[in-house]
Structure 1
Amino acid sequence: MAQIHVLDSETIDKIAAGEVVERPASVVKELVENAIDANATAITVEAKEGGIAFIRVTDNGDGMEAAQLRTAFLRHATSKIENAEDLTHILSLGFRGEALSSIAAVSKVEVISKTAGSLTGGRIVLEGAREIEFGEVGAPEGTTVLVRNLFFNTPVRRKFLKTPVTEGGYISDLMEHLALSRPDISFKFVLGNQTRFHTSGNGDLREVIYRLYGRETAASLVPIQWERENIRIQGYLGEPVLVRSNRNFEIYFINGRFLKSAVIAGAVEEGYREYLMQHKFPFCVLHIQMEPGRVDVNVHPTKMDVRFDSAAEFCSILSEAVQGTLRQREMIPEAVLGNENEARKEEKEQRRQLQEEMRRKGVPEPFEKRRMESYRVMEEARYQDRKPESLPDETEEKAAETAVTAPEAAVTEAKQLDLFEEKLLSVDNRARYQLIGQVFDTYWMIQFEDKLLIIDQHAAHEKVKYERLMRQYREKSVVSQNLMPPVIVSLTGQEEVTLREYGDAFTELGFEIAPFGGSEYAVRSVPTDLYGCGEKELFLEVMDQLAALGNKGSLKAVEEKIASMSCKAAVKGNSPLSQREAQALIDELLTLENPYHCPHGRPTIISISKTEMERKFKRIV
């Protein structure tokens, strides 16, 4: 019989480290979060060989007294909380007291730290949690942590690490999220002796997005400001043109903490649902502030997941905020007639020139007390809310020149440009439209001021019918059309269960369905808009969709799924409409809250500017 015995402290530390220190990025996360909690305004992270061989995190925060350095490496030693009651209102990023001890257990660690009032700092060196050196040293205010040879004493863990390139990629991804979490902190990230990015720390979230994701992304952002039930949401939503194929660009923070949460992702995607196609995901950077007692971050050692006291209420508020913000924004994508590859090359060259210009002017170092006023003004001018083509080289040069020669005047005159003060698609503008005609029996062209609007008749008709049916459904005024003779369908056992479960939704949407003996059912009436549109095939397709949902969808989602499927009655492409019919369609489209996308997320309308056409014909260069 096996004997039970108590593990030694070294083994315990290594086991505990496995929960906190998964890879080099885990080390960086814990150290940078400590620096943020220490009120740092500038943080530099350096990594070599993907962080496996070397990690250095330097900050200008509060620092630690020399006498506290040894205590800091004890398990569950923390300055963030004192007792269990503090867990109900956690405001700091760290609180478990496991990070430093776990890191020291599997690496060679050196820490140098100095507080503001001390003449000298303290230094401690550990290998595998064993103290090697301890003493005083001259140092700047703040803390520097060096981690070398990660997992040197746990070769099994080290064997399962990815290549240095891959591990470095994980650190890069983490650092981007940390920079987005605190735009008021200057982050400098160096990977393999190459500076990957350096933020100014001026508090401008859009500037950080620009530096990380580029000019095109920064120009396609919708600011969000929303507050309800003591939940405050702010940040930026990406326009639907920034569609992604995965959730990697859904970035959100709760009380400054970056998270991966299926609950939050679902709420954001629900808010975007009518703007995106299936299996596509939005770009967003959201900062969510709420009472600490309403969210539990003590779920996992990595602190990457949370629990809410009322997840349903939170999701409702978040999805409403996203949807409400997007509906206030003009969503007509502008087509570019030039070569896409050439446009990308031009943007890349512009970014390279911008980076070179910033290098020449001098990038602020991490421990500067004050940043040059001219630099700040130049950044504000450069990251204003405008489309890529609205910042030609001459304008950029003037902005930079103004920032250097007259900083005070520039601060006074700095103003963000709002390109969407007037919505193009509105009933008020209807008289200013000039309907030119139809091309390819599918697209209608409208001249409006200096733009050519192109409407996809199928997408527009689909959207109009969808909104009409949903409005009738909400108002309990759906009009049905009797089918003579009725449509007879045969259902499987699973489909019969689905029909019984969602029968009320079918009824309220205008369907009348009755048993017809055995496994057969009679569809006796359908919504008027669906009459003559392949009622049997449509009904069976709706049933397939509901069966696929199972019990995962709320009743509201199911009802809208049925309405969305019902939009197959819309006029198709390659089906000519008369000008009178087109005008009636456009008039109804203008009355909708969101006329820009069909129920499946495809655009109903695009625009081409007069300037873009003149460039193509070489009238302007």
Structure 2
Amino acid sequence: MSPELANKIAAGEVVQRPASVVKELLDNAIDAGATRIVVRLDAAGKERIQVEDNGCGMSPVDLQLCLEAHATSKIKAVEDLQSISTLGFRGEAMASIASVSHMEVRSQRLGDEIGHRLVVHGGQQKTFEPAAVEPGTRVQVDQLFYNVPARKRFMRTDATELKNALQVVQQSALAHPEVHIECFANGEPVYQLPAVDSYVDRAVALFGSSFRASLIPVHEEAGLLRVKGVISDPKLTKKTRGDQFFFVNRRPIQHKILMYHVLKVYEPWTQGREFPFFALFLEMNPEDVDVNVHPAKLEVKFSDERSVQRLVASVVRKTLNQALGVPNMNPQEWQGEQGEEGREARSSFGGGSLSGGGSSSGGGSLSSNPMANFEKGLQSFGYSTLKGSAGKAISDTVYGTQEPQQGQTVAALDSNAKNFWQLHRQYILSHTRSGLCMIDQYLAHRRILFDRAMEDSQRALPSSQQLLFAQTIELSASDFELVKELEPELVRMGFSVDLLSGRSVMLSGVPADLTQGGEKSILQEVLDQFRELDHKQGFSRIEKVAIAYAVHAAIPRGKLLTMKEMEALMDQLFACQDPWHDPLGRQIVQMWSMEDLSSYFS
């Protein structure tokens, strides 16, 4: 096998997308002792990636060797695998990148009179010559995957690839606050991050000044393990993952079990439905961790997995409790308005959206009879409603809608029969002639909002509610770039967004269906959810934005509904084209026949 072919095969594991190249070049710059790094991306890195640093630089001999596979490896013996202290150690990344791109490397050591320039196309050296270079190294990668068409076709949209590349820059910046890092996309500045003294300051520079009040520094030593970094208090959470970071000896890693244990600490406040921000740095003896278990070096194995997991969770719990000031507190009591009530305020019906007068795609205006669409929908599925066979004495006591008044008799309550009951503030139950029907209230509202949003997007003037006071929202760099790309779709949904300088946007209008009080958070939640959906096939971009909006604007599980609200929800649901499934295909309605119910008691 030729060296060129071997490098191409290695590139398939090491270089998967532009972000992979950015990661390897940043690792090299940091290993070189750089205190200033500049990253430039053209077309999200598909056309050009340039990383320039002021590190130690390379001699002419080292410069020629740096593109030879394993020539720069830090591993000289098997024992060296047990004590890896640098980010790069295999010596194969540069050769792999060079084999699938046009690469130029300029480098000069501090004190040398002149530097050198090396040009390689597809692994073949084209030029090696003296050149005027600033001390340090500049690597430029053009036309990535130009000679691997299949890999080039698998690259995603510019927005997705840019997001992935910026996440890599973000991770390196978090891990090395002492390094000045700049990043440009298509010539426009994305990050300008001066060197700072703390992880908190670097997190604020990356994610916005609004983070600062909710950030808690972490610094604990537990035996041979030191845990540093920053976590958020339970008020700073999102409904999607993405802002959780682990580092081992400042190497970014993915570790599902560690993630589980840290999220478990927050669970009393989040109920497992929302995700806090944290960046945790584990420092330990290199001999206690194996970093050579994944081609991209994203996974590690600890010599004592359970101890590490327990210690990290213990440190997070201790730090969180100390910051909140009540170590023996009841988390549910602390929640107050930030917890259940806060979520209800963000996502309750509001604006009369379920009390009539609206419309839902596929069904036109609502029927004058609030039960008509529900009955029609059940009939289409082979069921019909059976009204009023149980009264408040059973329904309210069992389902928790209202406590029966003292002195009321069962007979008196039976005379006040109704059609729907709420179960655990999550499901709506109704009798049918053939049995029982149960509807997930959250998924039902998701379907309604999605259909409305898609109908609205076809109008010349989408329905929008203008805010009395426009909201200025500071976004992360990747979120700001995503807003720029999604601006046409957001406008069609009813958002009014103006781009400002410094990664900020002004939100002056939101979809008409959005409940009052959720205006400031909805844009961020839509962006986060869109990223979760971006890999899904079979949806247009406008559909993904509509789903992202519906997911976060829908009434939450845990919201107490009145009878009128339940009737309106059912009527609007069965006016939709597909009332049986939410936009992502999840089942909304579950039916049980009398035979099914009887079988449980046989």
Place the TM-score, normalised by the shorter chain, in its bin.
0.5 to 0.7
Deviations, residues 37-72 of structure 1 (Å, cap 9, x unaligned): 000001000000010100100000000001211111
Work out the CA distance in 1 between the residues paired with 2:198 and 2:206.
Answer: 13
Amino acid paired to 1:139 = V
Q: Where does residue 163 of structure 1 map in the other structure?
A: 157
Q: 2:299 aligns with which of 283, 296, 305?
A: 305
Work out the CA distance in 1 between the residues paired with 2:296 and 2:124.
Answer: 24
Residues 253 and 259, structure 1, Cα contact 8 Å, conserved in 2:
yes
- The alpha-carbon distance between structure 1 residues 22 and 347, as it changes in their structure 2 partners (threshold 3 A), is closer
Q: Do residues 64 (structure 1) and 190 (structure 2) align? A: no
Residues 52 and 139, structure 2, Cα contact 8 Å, conserved in 1:
yes
Gaps of 5+ in 2: 326-333, 347-466, 481-498, 504-598
Work out the CA distance in 2 between the residues paired with 1:344 and 1:259.
Answer: 39
Residues 49 and 165, structure 1, Cα contact 8 Å, conserved in 2:
no
- The alpha-carbon distance between structure 1 residues 88 and 343, as it changes in their structure 2 partners (threshold 3 A), is farther
| Secondary structure of the structure 1 residue equivalent to 2:271 | coil
Question: Displacement of 1:355 after TM fit?
Answer: 4.8
Amino acid paired to 1:345 = Q
Deviations, residues 137-186 of structure 1 (Å, cap 9, x unaligned): 11111000000000011111101111222211111111111110100001
Residues 272 and 322, structure 1, Cα contact 8 Å, conserved in 2:
no
Amino acid paired to 1:204 = S
Deviations, residues 226-263 of structure 1 (Å, cap 9, x unaligned): 11121111111111111222331111211010111112
| Secondary structure of the structure 2 residue equivalent to 1:13 | helix
Residues 218 and 231, structure 2, Cα contact 8 Å, conserved in 1:
yes
Q: Do residues 247 (structure 1) and 241 (structure 2) align? A: yes
Q: Do residues 345 (structure 1) and 339 (structure 2) align? A: no
| Secondary structure of the structure 2 residue equivalent to 1:248 | coil
Residues 73 and 90, structure 2, Cα contact 8 Å, conserved in 1:
no
Amino acid paired to 1:248 = G
Q: Where does residue 133 of structure 2 map in the other structure?
A: 139
Work out the CA distance in 1 between the residues paired with 2:29 and 2:35.
Answer: 9
- The alpha-carbon distance between structure 1 residues 236 and 354, as it changes in their structure 2 partners (threshold 3 A), is farther
| Secondary structure of the structure 2 residue equivalent to 1:195 | strand
Work out the CA distance in 2 between the residues paired with 1:321 and 1:354.
Answer: 39
| Secondary structure of the structure 2 residue equivalent to 1:219 | helix
Q: Do residues 120 (structure 1) and 246 (structure 2) align? A: no
- The alpha-carbon distance between structure 1 residues 67 and 325, as it changes in their structure 2 partners (threshold 3 A), is same
The within-5 A match list for 1:171-570 is: 171-330=165-324, 345-346=471-472, 348=474, 355=502
Work out the CA distance in 2 between the residues paired with 1:326 and 1:21.
Answer: 38
Q: Where does residue 436 of structure 1 map in the other structure?
A: none
- The alpha-carbon distance between structure 1 residues 202 and 353, as it changes in their structure 2 partners (threshold 3 A), is farther
Amino acid paired to 2:316 = V
Question: Displacement of 1:200 after TM fit?
Answer: 0.8
Q: CA RMSD in A?
A: 3.0
Work out the CA distance in 1 between the residues paired with 2:199 and 2:208.
Answer: 13
Residues 182 and 203, structure 1, Cα contact 8 Å, conserved in 2:
no
Gaps of 5+ in 1: 1-6, 357-490, 493-518, 521-621
Work out the CA distance in 2 between the residues paired with 1:11 and 1:343.
Answer: 61
- The alpha-carbon distance between structure 1 residues 100 and 207, as it changes in their structure 2 partners (threshold 3 A), is same
The percent identity for this pair of structures is 34
**How many residue pairs get matched?**
355
Question: Displacement of 1:353 after TM fit?
Answer: 9.4
Question: Displacement of 1:217 after TM fit?
Answer: 1.6
Question: Displacement of 1:222 after TM fit?
Answer: 1.4
| Secondary structure of the structure 1 residue equivalent to 2:242 | helix
| Secondary structure of the structure 2 residue equivalent to 1:286 | strand
Amino acid paired to 2:189 = T
| Secondary structure of the structure 1 residue equivalent to 2:275 | coil
| Secondary structure of the structure 2 residue equivalent to 1:241 | coil
- The alpha-carbon distance between structure 1 residues 342 and 262, as it changes in their structure 2 partners (threshold 3 A), is farther
Amino acid paired to 1:83 = A
Question: Displacement of 1:344 after TM fit?
Answer: 7.6
- The alpha-carbon distance between structure 1 residues 272 and 23, as it changes in their structure 2 partners (threshold 3 A), is same
Amino acid paired to 2:162 = G
| Secondary structure of the structure 1 residue equivalent to 2:144 | coil
Deviations, residues 72-116 of structure 1 (Å, cap 9, x unaligned): 111112253322211111110000111100000000000000001
Work out the CA distance in 2 between the residues paired with 1:343 and 1:286.
Answer: 37
Q: Where does residue 77 of structure 2 map in the other structure?
A: 83
Q: Where does residue 419 of structure 1 map in the other structure?
A: none
Amino acid paired to 1:228 = A
Deviations, residues 190-232 of structure 1 (Å, cap 9, x unaligned): 0111111111112232222112211222220112121112111
Deviations, residues 389-432 of structure 1 (Å, cap 9, x unaligned): xxxxxxxxxxxxxxxxxxxxxxxxxxxxxxxxxxxxxxxxxxxx
Amino acid paired to 2:471 = K
Amino acid paired to 1:52 = K
